[in-house]
Amino acid sequence: MIREAILGIGAAATVFCLYLGINAFPFVLLAILLFAMSVVAERKGALTTGRKERTSTHRVEFGNIGGQEMAKRELMEALDFLRFRDKISSLGIRPLKGILLTGPPGTGKTLMAKAAATYTDSVFVSASGSEFVEMYVGVGASRVRELFKKARTLAKNENKDSAIIFIDEIDVIGGKRGGGQGHQEYDQTLNQLLTEMDGMQTTTNPLVLVVAATNRVDMLDPALLRPGRFDRQIKVDLPDKEGRLHILKIQTANKPLAEDVDLETIAKESYGFSGAQLESLTNEAAILAMRENKTKIETEHLRDAVNKVLLGEKTGKRPSPDELLRVSVHELGHAIASESVRPNSVAHITIAPRGNALGFVRQIPEADAYLYTKEQLEGQIMVALAGTVSEELLFGNRSTGASNDFVQASQLARTMISCGLSSLGIVDAENLQRNVLDEEIRRILAEMEERTRQLLAQYKPGIESLSKTLVEEESMTGEAFHEWMKQQKAKCA
């Protein structure tokens, strides 16, 4: 309102002066000056208001964070430098200035920063990297100074001798300098952050610790990562099976579970889920139970929630009967290949459209694997190709539904080549001639396709029969499919 009034009065005064023949330049200059002052005042007020809203009083403890035991232990060890000042000073240890949390989204980096504030009894102030950078030069650097000043002021007001500043998505302002953004705003903001973390304008009491999070550590400027700024880099990775079980127990503590629910099985089936996805899983399961007017969350609700988190809600797509039969044949091909490569690996088969997928076979990993042999990679390629091979066996042709499967199979073949597991031996895949690389990929895929065809050929009558049943029932549990496979193997024997 103030800016509009200034503009209106300025315009009216200018017209009036021109009408009287008076020089209007001083009035125009005064209006511009008043307008600029109002903009600065408004931005400063918005900054202060925004920072006030981001100050956290919610207490989060490390016990509230599931999984991440190694990351929590490493972070707590680093935070002991804040808690035991006398002990570290007697050993001549320099206090840490920064801790960088890296890892995929949803793994609990923000929660760990809040728990750090509780653990050290520090003031907690948070900000996002995107809040610092705007089109106006100097605004980002000013906001960095204001953030550190606010943290110290809050610590003094609350009689605390330390403060923790959490900066989420720090790669926005901490990216490598000299990237040619067209202006120096990014560099000025980063330079101010580097200066603050150097301690040139900081005091030892209250001590300010910067905790930052990013999933793009490769983008950060080297000056930001050197000792004396971010002294610790802690990897907050996706939880393993035990970590997932711990998270599920925490997230279901306030939810009524049926007696048959086995959280360990759900933890096994949710391989690759982050903490945020596991929280969403339990929440979606509760919603599904509410839809059915159930008083407790059952196993099927949790399993349906796994599919929903992976693929999304069921869509309104209505494939024709012929398309449903083809999708059923396609998914059974994946399931048979998966069960042949790794027995008891199929958890659920469905042909209900979800997201962009018309059907889906959910597999259970044998264990959280970090290394793969040549035989395991070949088995994964066979599973990827089995859908289209199954279609070809029963219908005599292929469809466009296997496009993503082909991309996955091609990537697995590339992995085999780059890891020296192909007939080329140990090679540098990046510098390999394109025609040689493509020819080897085609050779691997052709060989795996033939092996897959030989495998599925013996199950052709069973696929033809079961696919019709799957069209009618829409889905099939892993247990029912395992039993069907045993019967088929007995017939083939």
Q: Tokens for 74?
A: 């490493």
Which residue type occupies 284?
E
Strand segments (E) across 224-379: 232-235, 346-350, 360-363
| 8 A C-beta contact, residue 388 and residue 382 | no
Q: In angstroms, rounded to a whole number, what is the distance separating the alpha carbons of residues 285 and 427? A: 48
- 69 in catalytic set: no
Backbone angles phi, psi at 420, to 5 degrees: 75, 25
Give the pairing type, strands 346-350 and 475-477. antiparallel
Residue 80, burial from CB neighbour count under 10 angstroms (0-12, 13-18, 19+): middle
Backbone angles phi, psi at 340, to 5 degrees: -75, -40
Q: What is the DSSP letter of 402?
A: G
Give the pairing type, strands 162-168 and 207-214. parallel
- Sign for the pseudo-dihedral over CA of 254, 70, 120, 155: negative
Q: Which of 279, 331, 378, 392 is catalytic?
A: 331
Q: Tokens for 203?
A: 């005091």
Q: Which residues contact 67 (CB under 8 A, 6 or more apart)?
A: 108, 239, 240, 242, 243, 244, 246, 247, 275
Residue 296, burial from CB neighbour count under 10 angstroms (0-12, 13-18, 19+): middle
Residue 14, burial from CB neighbour count under 10 angstroms (0-12, 13-18, 19+): middle
Q: In angstroms, rounded to a whole number, what is the distance separating the alpha carbons of residues 433 and 425? A: 15
Q: In angstroms, rounded to a whole number, what is the distance separating the alpha carbons of residues 24 and 6? A: 15
Q: In angstroms, rounded to a whole number, what is the distance separating the alpha carbons of residues 408 and 421? A: 17
Q: How many helices (H) and strands (E) does the chain have?
A: 19, 9
Alpha carbon 259 to its chain centroid, in Å, reads 32
Backbone angles phi, psi at 208, to 5 degrees: -105, 125
Which residue type occupies 451?
R
Q: In angstroms, rounded to a whole number, what is the distance separating the alpha carbons of residues 450 and 467? A: 22
Q: In angstroms, rounded to a whole number, what is the distance separating the alpha carbons of residues 319 and 361? A: 18
Residue 300, burial from CB neighbour count under 10 angstroms (0-12, 13-18, 19+): middle
Active site positions, annotated = 331
